[in-house]
Structure 1
Amino acid sequence: MRILHTSDWHIGRTFHGHSTLEALTDVLTALVEQVHEHDVEVVLIAGDVFDSATPAASAYTLLDSTLLALRETGATVIMTSGNHDSAARLGFHSRLLRDGIHVLTDPRTIVEPVTVEDEHGPVRFFGIPYLEPAIVRHHWTDAGGGTPAPRTQAQVMDHAMHLVREGMAAAPGRAVAIAHCFAAGVDATAGLEREVRQGGLDVVPLAFFDGPDYVALGHIHGRQRLSDRVHYSGAPLHYSFGEQHKQRGSWLVDLDADGLASTQWLPLPVPRTLVTLTGALDEILSDENVAAHADDWVCAVYTDPIPQHEPMRRLRERFPFCALVQHEPVGAGTGSDLSYAQRLRSAITDMDRIEAFLEHVRAGAGATEHEAELIREVLDDRVRAEALI
């Protein structure tokens, strides 16, 4: 059996205020073509289908058209909900969907797999939606064997995988699990979700996923191969500049009669390249950069000692797709060993205080000779005005 593992479509998400719907449409069209080209029999979508619990109508339109296009290739589609999705909204019409499209959003049905046959017999797919401990512990008031109801992400995933193994024991054979969580061993540079917390209770130990022949995970936006059997596919689009160097794509998974046979990475096209340009603002605006990056999404990190006038306007005149500007002066945080507060306390005159402030906000660069002259004139005028009162 040939399986395509994808996740984290985030339909409806914006990129620094820009709609991503058109770009995502192009990428999902390419994904459908890959399903057809590689004779994929099952497509797995591991959560965060939408970016919001209340998606716009255009997001539903793109999802419906993509699901129908996938089904027209002959593939079975199995989709679970993520933390960005509303499980109720994503699953509300699951019973009305045409045969071959399965939306699994109810934690109470984890033990009930979707079964797909190939020449070697059945493969059972167990869908685990994103599990919010505060919600699912009301369904699992007793996790079995006298164990208290689960209260953390790790505990709910442990119980969910216990249910998967129960289902596997009831119907032995090949099995695949689909889940949306933060698993131990993830590379923190891979593109973490905005809400992911790495320190503690939300981390799911890798050993919890023992049992199935393959585990298709979602929640991390960069591809990850945690073991031979446990993979993240990442998002099909770049949704932040922190992800710009990460490949976009999906995993092509082959099962033979004995279980997992192979996995292969299938790259997806990047509609618009992301690039970060660093240097003085005039250097970033050079003709050389414009020629190379005029059609890219640009993050400009300018290093001039002081903030420049209207940097975004100037950048967009040269880079129409400049999305982000950051000011990071060279040498920021260097200079005196004293803190800003300590320098203010040790300042004797107003000129000293102003100089300390300028050096603080300009990464150590104080007033120029001309600026110092203007500051002294203002201070002298204030002194004269106070003397007349």
Structure 2
Amino acid sequence: MSFRFIHSSDLHLGRKFASIPQPADGNIRGRLMEARHGAIAALARAARDHGAAHVLLAGDSFDTPTPSPAIVRQAVAAMAEAADLTWWLLPGNHDNLRDAEPLWDTVRQAGHSNIAVLDADRPVAIRPGVTLLPCPVRFRAGASDPTEAMQQMEVPAGDIRIGLAHGGVTDFTDSGGAIAPDRDARARLDYLALGDWHGRMRVSDRVHYCGSPEQDRFKHGTPGLCLAVTIDAPGAAPQVTEVRTGHFHWTEIALQVTPGADAVAALALALPPTGRRDTLLRLRLSGRARLAGRAELMAAALAAAPEFAHFEIRADDLATEHDASDLDLIDRPGGALRIAAEALAADPDDRIARDALARLYSYVKEGAE
């Protein structure tokens, strides 16, 4: 009676990653897009490794309701090639039933028996003794709990009941369009597989967000993964195992700087020593630094940046300290650059002026070397 499956969601196939700057000598956006397609093969490996014959995708398999024909056809072909697995696709808010009707028609018309589009609020027999209760998203924004229909779904007595939905779980203090946190109990579910939240989250023993199989933002801080789930019998507690599927890792490092401390050495210790080519890194600097120390730190960060898939520096919270001796290194008193530096230094709370002063100092130092 034991049933094993893979719970995944939010592949966002076709995502263009327009917010990531494209370096002149690289193609990080293309690599990120390809990794999202590669997540299909990663999910297939996870299923085989854990003895699962079914992959449940809890919404937003595609990033938009109108992905390019190549994105759709290649995704369908990759799933069809894994003919030993059955792929259950639930429309989410990005690829909802109304806006993405041609998309789902294309998937259905491909005619692959191992790919099923869950386009109705009705129970589906996955295999004898196991019933799936899907609730596809009909519109991009809804005002009601998308899982409410599960309570009215008729399921054969003694079946394992698995809910599949896409949306947020809250305590109903917002608009009322969120999933009830106790939906598993209300609908007598053995497991509720949720999508929409791109990070891993356990809501309760029976309610889980799997996150995205590939990270797509710095927010969550965990690598892309899926969940391998085993349910031994109706009413039994599900056994949930996290399985890493992600190729890229998005990570954010916070570095506190203090005058007199060796910030360059601290940076070297904070940066990941391996896997840099497949790491997107955001460096957040805070604290206080002298002009010279700030310039050295920025130079060290920029020197390491090309080793990473993407590297960005956020220094809004890094204050710059200086005195007359620092300004003397820029120009003599009365000199044009000195006058400009003094004007920039006049308001220490002006972030733009503070950054400009630090950059002016760096330019002068570079020119002197």
Where in structure 2 are the equivalents of 1:1-389 lying within 5 Å? 1-15=3-17, 16-17=20-21, 18-19=29-30, 20-70=32-82, 72-73=83-84, 75-87=85-97, 88-96=101-109, 97-105=111-119, 109-111=120-122, 113-117=123-127, 121-132=128-139, 152-154=143-145, 156-158=146-148, 160-162=149-151, 165-168=152-155, 173-184=159-170, 199-209=174-184, 210-211=186-187, 212-244=189-221, 246-279=222-255, 283=264, 292=273, 294-295=276-277, 296-303=279-286, 314=302, 318-330=306-318, 358-362=347-351
Separation in 2, partners of 1:125, 1:298: 39
Query: % of aligned pairs identical?
Result: 22
Q: Which structure has the larger Rg?
A: 1
* CA spacing shift, 1:272–1:247, aligned 2, 3 Å: closer
Deviates more, 1:31-40 or 1:202-211: 202-211
Aligned residues: 308
Separation in 2, partners of 1:286, 1:13: 32
Q: Which amino acid aligns with 2:314?
A: Q
SS of residue paired to 1:24: helix
* CA spacing shift, 1:204–1:22, aligned 2, 3 Å: same
Q: TM-score, normalised to structure 2's length?
A: 0.69
SS of residue paired to 1:35: helix
Separation in 1, partners of 2:180, 2:355: 52
Q: CA deviation at 1:308?
A: 7.4
SS of residue paired to 2:78: helix
Separation in 1, partners of 2:57, 2:40: 12
Q: CA deviation at 1:133?
A: 8.3
Question: In the alignment, what sits opposite 1:192?
Answer: none
Q: CA deviation at 1:301?
A: 2.6
Q: Which amino acid aligns with 1:54?
A: T
Q: Which amino acid aligns with 1:297?
A: L
Q: Cα RMSD over matched residues?
A: 4.0
Deviations 1:256-283 (A, max 9, x none): 3434453222322432333334446973
Separation in 2, partners of 1:37, 1:100: 19
Separation in 2, partners of 1:319, 1:285: 18
Deviations 1:313-372 (A, max 9, x none): 94576444234332223359xxxxxxxxxxxxxxxxxxxxx789722214997999xx9x
* CA spacing shift, 1:92–1:266, aligned 2, 3 Å: same
Structure 2 stretches lacking a partner, 5+ long: 22-28, 321-342, 361-369
Separation in 1, partners of 2:216, 2:356: 40
The answer as to whether partners of 1:153 and 1:203 remain within 8 angstroms in 2 is: yes
Separation in 2, partners of 1:357, 1:200: 48
* CA spacing shift, 1:360–1:231, aligned 2, 3 Å: same
Structure 1 stretches lacking a partner, 5+ long: 135-150, 186-196, 333-353, 372-389
SS of residue paired to 2:154: helix
Q: Which amino acid aligns with 2:50?
A: H
* CA spacing shift, 1:46–1:57, aligned 2, 3 Å: same
Deviations 1:93-149 (A, max 9, x none): 3543322321013xxx312x22122xxx33221221124387xxxxxxxxxxxxxxx
SS of residue paired to 1:33: helix
Q: Which amino acid aligns with 2:170?
A: A
* CA spacing shift, 1:330–1:67, aligned 2, 3 Å: same
Deviations 1:284-320 (A, max 9, x none): 8966667826433221334568897998994576444
Q: Which amino acid aligns with 1:132?
A: F
* CA spacing shift, 1:308–1:205, aligned 2, 3 Å: farther
Separation in 2, partners of 1:198, 1:311: 48
Question: In the alignment, what sits opposite 2:324?
Answer: none
Q: TM-score, normalised to structure 1's length?
A: 0.66
